[in-house]
Amino acid sequence: MHGRLARRLVGSTMTGLTYGAAALAILPLAVILAMLLVKGTGSIDWNFFTKAAVPFGEKGGGFSHAIVGTLIVVGLACAVGVPIGVATGIFLAEFGGGRLGFTVRFVADVLNGVPSIVIGIFAWTWLVKPMGHFSALAGGCALGMILVPILARTTEEMVRLVPNSLREAALALGYPRWRTSLVVVVRTAAAGIVTGCLVAVARVAGETAPLLFTALGNQYFSTRLAGPMAALPLQIYVYALGPYDEWHRQAWAGALVLIVLVLALSLFARAVIRAKRQHA
């Protein structure tokens, strides 16, 4: 009986420890969100969204240039990355059975693990060096390259969820394969693909490293694609490392805006994807 008691004791202790581990894992998220709210909300006012940065010492600077910059750079990234990523995903789901499919899938997973800073220096050699100057365009392309492998895998997963009976029904009605694929299969998976895009966009919107030597950052409001452009994560980085309390305050506010943007996108997408999986 003693042995049995000891075993049960070990069992409940370890079970309790896993509860503790889960709580401990979530703790940083709670602490970070709380700190952002505490330190960030005080600095968010109308100026924050409407004004660009001002030289230190002047009052009333904001993050409008960085917010607009992030929207533009991420928009460019989508223009580059979404078509290629989604097409790759459809390829993997529809024709990905062979050796080529295996290779592409493997490369997608490997590229997914390549540090974003490496993508950044690659974009520099291809876009910044030949053009001779930093540009939002290069930043968008760098982020687009990060989007592609993520999208390829999520799109593949979503297209695979479409029941085969739908495909068979379309073929039986005399549709050629390409129309079956596009009109029936991909359209059925469209909601899932779009939410996959949202998750991926949420991820690249917070990327800083690939923008360091592509978009570079900018203290002024700029919408010129061929020139340096500010972005929220870049501005947070610069302000966090800066020497002034005023900058630190604004960095927290910027971080709050960024995390609200990112978490809203990914939570929304997660809810939709989860609903999709349960239906499939």
Binding to other proteins (CB under 8 A) within 113-172 occurs at 113-122, 124-126, 145, 148-150, 152-154, 156-157, 171-172
Q: CA 103 to CA 113: how far, in whole Å?
A: 16
Interacting residue with other proteins among 248, 268, 272, 276 (CB under 8 A)? 248
User: Nearest-CA neighbor of 233 among 263, 250, 209?
Assistant: 209
Query: Is 240 near other proteins (CB under 8 A)?
Result: yes
Nearer to other proteins, 34 or 226 (CB): 34
Only segment of 46-54, 55-63, 100-108, 219-227 that touches other proteins (CB under 8 A):
100-108
Taking contact as CB under 8 A, which single stretch among the options 45-53, 54-62, 187-195, 212-220 is the one that binds other proteins?
A: 212-220
Cα-Cα-Cα-Cα torsion 93, 82, 200, 198, nearest 10 degrees, comes to -100
> What's the closest the beta carbon of residue 193 comes to other proteins, in angstroms?
14
Task: Tell me the window of 44-52, 57-65, 135-143, 210-218 that interacts with other proteins (CB under 8 A).
Answer: 210-218
Q: Pinpoint the alpha helices (H) of the chain.
A: 2-41, 46-50, 64-95, 99-113, 116-123, 129-131, 136-160, 164-172, 177-179, 187-205, 232-241, 245-279
CA distance 280 to 275: 9
Binding window for other proteins (CB under 8 A); candidates: 43-51, 59-67, 219-227, 258-266: 258-266
Q: Which of 45, 60, 79, 109 binds other proteins (CB under 8 A)?
A: 109
Report the candidate in 117, 114, 142 with the shortest Cα–Cα distance to residue 229: 142
Q: Do residues 269 and 151 make contact, with C-beta atoms less than 8 angstroms apart?
A: no
* Binders of other proteins in range 60-79 (CB under 8 A): none
CB atoms within 10 A of CB 264: 12
Interacting residue with other proteins among 37, 91, 221, 227 (CB under 8 A): 91
Among 79, 182, 183, 226, binds other proteins (CB under 8 A): 182
CB 215 within 8 A of CB 27: no
Tell me how far, at minimum, the Cβ of 187 lies from other proteins, in Å. Answer: 14
- Residues in the interface with other proteins (CB under 8 A) total 106
CB of 100 to other proteins, least distance (A): 7
Q: To the nearest whole angstrom, how small is the minimum distance from the Cβ of residue 144 to other proteins? A: 10
Q: Output the DSSP codes for 137-156.
A: HHHHHHHHHHHHHHHHHHHH
